[in-house]
Amino acid sequence: MTTILAIESSCDDTSAAVLRDDRLLSNAIASQKVHEQYGGVVPELASRAHQQNIVPVVDSAIKNAGIDRCDIDAIGFTRGPGLLGSLMVGVSFAKAFSIALGKPLVEVNHLQAHVLSHFIRESDDSRVPEFPLLCLLVSGGHTQILLLRSYFDMEVLGQTIDDAAGEAIDKAAKIMDLGYPGGPIIDRLAKEGNPKAFSFATPHIEGYDYSFSGLKTSFLYFLRDRLAEQPDFIERHKADLCASYQNTVVDFLVKKFEHAAKATGVRNVAIAGGVSANSCLRNRVEEMGRRHRWQVFVPKMQFCTDNAAMVGIAAYYKFLSGEVADLSLPPYARN
């Protein structure tokens, strides 16, 4: 049996988790509220908040797991990609803890962790995917269609050539001045709106790649034209705007994903990353799976956005294959 302590600090959530083999024992998260007033994550403030949160968060993960520090066999941590100052807090903490306990470190790639969140078991009857698995990874910084042949054999079949899906949604929320982070706000408002009220075009991109920057720009121009004649346009059509914009993003995501699944013949499909919390995307992917009789894996809400449980499962499988990290390695900002 292997006990893993995992640490995630790549963006604005400080999180620590404990796993025993692939079984999750605890997952503690401290989200940072300080960024809301700025309409986006302020890197400097994020690093400072991680520094304040990391010790209490690790403490509660260990306590909630009901283990003792000496039970820990290895320490998994997110090495990148993410904000460098944020990563540095988690990486330094992991190194210090590793020296203090005399236990090895396992470095984890944040994107791989999102995908591997599907392999976390919470009980004996947790359902986990089989390989090959096709995964749509949609987060604030990335949008990729990945073909997994095993835990760490991930082939990128397509990806965004500019903005990420989460970024496209967050920017639309910013344009409408709805608050931050925009994803959950748009999701909530969209429930009251008509997804067909307005139409926004998505670009034609070859293969399985995506592009979202044009969509965001056309939304901006669309609103500018309407606002010139009706200053209260956003206020009056908020729900319809959210529903239509969200529907356009989700439609684009799902169409290509469905093509990729058909072309590869892979019958296990999953979504992962912050945007996989979106209710419209979740419904559409479930519906797609039913139509084709594919096995669909949609993460539990707490495993969609950043969390250390997913870092722990990735670290567990790496540790099993004998991969341990050097104490001198630095974090990386980009993949």
Site residues for ligand KG4 per CB under 6 A: 11, 139-141, 166, 169-170, 181-184, 187, 273-275, 277-278, 305-306
Cβ 309 vs Cβ 27: under 8 Å: yes
Of residues 189 and 310, the one with the C-beta less far from Zn ion:
310
For residue 167, the minimal CB distance to ligand KG4 (Å) is: 6
Selection from ligand KG4, Zn ion, none that 166 binds (CB < 5 to 8 A by kind) is ligand KG4
With a CB cutoff of 8 Å and minimum separation 6, the contacts of 234 are 176, 177, 223, 227, 241
- Total residues contacting Zn ion by CB under 5 A comes to 2
Cβ 116 vs Cβ 310: under 8 Å: yes
Torsions phi, psi of 22, nearest 5?
-95, 10
Q: What angle do CA 216, 220, 225 make, to 5 degrees?
A: 150
With a CB cutoff of 8 Å and minimum separation 6, the contacts of 322 are none
Region 265-324 residues binding Zn ion, contact defined as CB under 5 A: 306
For residue 280, the minimal CB distance to ligand KG4 (Å) is: 8
Interaction between residue 139 and Zn ion (CB under 5 A): yes
For residue 233, the minimal CB distance to Zn ion (Å) is: 34
Cβ 43 vs Cβ 51: under 8 Å: no
For residue 263, the minimal CB distance to ligand KG4 (Å) is: 26
Of residues 62 and 296, the one with the C-beta less far from ligand KG4:
296
Of residues 28 and 62, the one with the C-beta less far from ligand KG4:
28
Of residues 62 and 310, the one with the C-beta less far from ligand KG4:
310
Of residues 141 and 312, the one with the C-beta less far from ligand KG4:
141
For residue 299, the minimal CB distance to ligand KG4 (Å) is: 10
The helix/strand/coil state of 84 is helix
Cβ 169 vs Cβ 275: under 8 Å: yes
Of residues 181 and 289, the one with the C-beta less far from Zn ion:
181
Cβ 30 vs Cβ 13: under 8 Å: yes
CA distance 335 to 332: 7
For residue 309, the minimal CB distance to ligand KG4 (Å) is: 13
Residues that bind Zn ion (CB under 5 A): 139, 306
